[in-house]
Chain A
Amino acid sequence: MTSYERALRLLTDHPHVRTWPELAAACERARAHRPIAWDFPLRAAQAVGGQAEAAIPAVAANTCTHMALILIDDLLDEDPRGAQHRLGAGRAANLAAGLLALGTQVLLESNCSERLRAARALNDMILRTGYGQDLDVQNLQTEDAYWQVTRAKSSPYFGTALCLGALFGERLDAAERLQEFGELFGEIMQIHDDLNDCLAVPANVDWIQGRSPLPILFAQTVAHPERERFMKLRSQVEDAVILEEVQTILVRCGAISYSVNELILRQKKAEKMLAAMRLADPQPLAQLLEEAIAPVQHLFAKVGAEFPVAK
């Protein structure tokens, strides 16, 4: 049985899950849909010199929390793929509440000596992400607001996943620094997600709902020659020809370059943070950074440019 299957077993065997069919169904569905960063607690436990397997309750808690956040996100975004279309909005909201509580419960019922601290860390993440979600639904369209929302909404999940791994690896002193490293990694993930969304064909729902992933925000904010044209067309992207034109403007005005630069800046900062932590085995976390920057390196190669070397 893999670590992930063992984490799911913790959930499906839980008494509350056994009495709530939809909660059980959600945990079963998680078998086929592993959440992003599901293995971060294992990586962190290994990195601090602990046993990766010790962090299985943290993987279970992380999985519950991720499922809940997706349910909430889909409700807020009116995502056509969301579970609310199958369950109804009320039951989807109830399921999200159940999953959030289940994650904390699993941590509290673990035999980790730092289970209270772990539960507090998870709860803190839920609170911070809730605030981030609330900022996000206000669709604030400024540069400062973008970074504020990213740090509130996207970063805590990744940071806490690593923090939990350190706690279950019994390296309390590393927990805070791994939280910071994970939060920076969360910003990298958000920029990747934004690049992915705004370059999607057909148009991603962000265009249609008037939301502003980082490249779109850049094209709207910066005084470039095609800004007016971009603003006029951005709501008409259901037409494939117009989508191609606005995506071309994103490239030409420097919005993609800007986003890529923000990825590189964070990558370099994260590499320095990782080196400064002096972990027993930094490789599981170094590998995350390598995989995250690979698309950017490939992009540089594609345009015939050298990838900037860290200074």
Chain B
Amino acid sequence: MVAMQTFYTDLSFAAENMGSAFSGLWRIARASLKEILAVRSELAWDAWAESK
């Protein structure tokens, strides 16, 4: 578990250190909502959520 504010600071620095472990997470933060939602529907995040 990483503290939220610490993560946010590290993520901001990742922009300048693209080789860091955070670079993938930084790219996710720069993705469009459409890209994120496409993954959500393609992979049915619903399948991992409780269904009625």
Contact = CB atoms under 8 A, between A and B. Distances in A.
Interface of A: 33, 36, 70, 81, 143, 147, 189, 192-193, 195-197, 199, 201, 217-218, 221-224, 244, 247-248, 251-254, 256-258, 260-262, 265, 292, 294-295, 298-300, 302-308
Interface string B6-49: 01100100000000010111111111110111111011011011
B50 A302 contact: no
27 contacts: A36-B51, A196-B45, A199-B36, A199-B45, A201-B37, A218-B4, A218-B8, A251-B29, A251-B32, A252-B29, A254-B11, A257-B7, A258-B2, A258-B4, A258-B7, A261-B7, A262-B1, A265-B1, A292-B48, A295-B40, A295-B43, A295-B45, A302-B31, A303-B24, A303-B31, A304-B27, A305-B27
Contacts of B26: 257
A36 B50 contact: yes
Q: Which of A193, A257, A258 has the largest count of B CB atoms less than 10 A from its CB?
A: A257
Given A201-B37, A223-B5, A257 B25 contact: yes
Given A251-B28, A308-B24, A147 B4 contact: no
Interface of B: 1-5, 7-8, 11, 21, 23-33, 35-40, 42-43, 45-46, 48-52
Given A251-B33, A303-B27, A295 B8 contact: no
B35 to A, nearest CB: 6
Nearest to A204: B49
Going nearest first, the 9 A-B pairs with the smallest beta carbon separation are A305-B24, A257-B25, A192-B48, A196-B45, A303-B27, A196-B49, A295-B43, A193-B49, A222-B8
B35 A195 contact: no
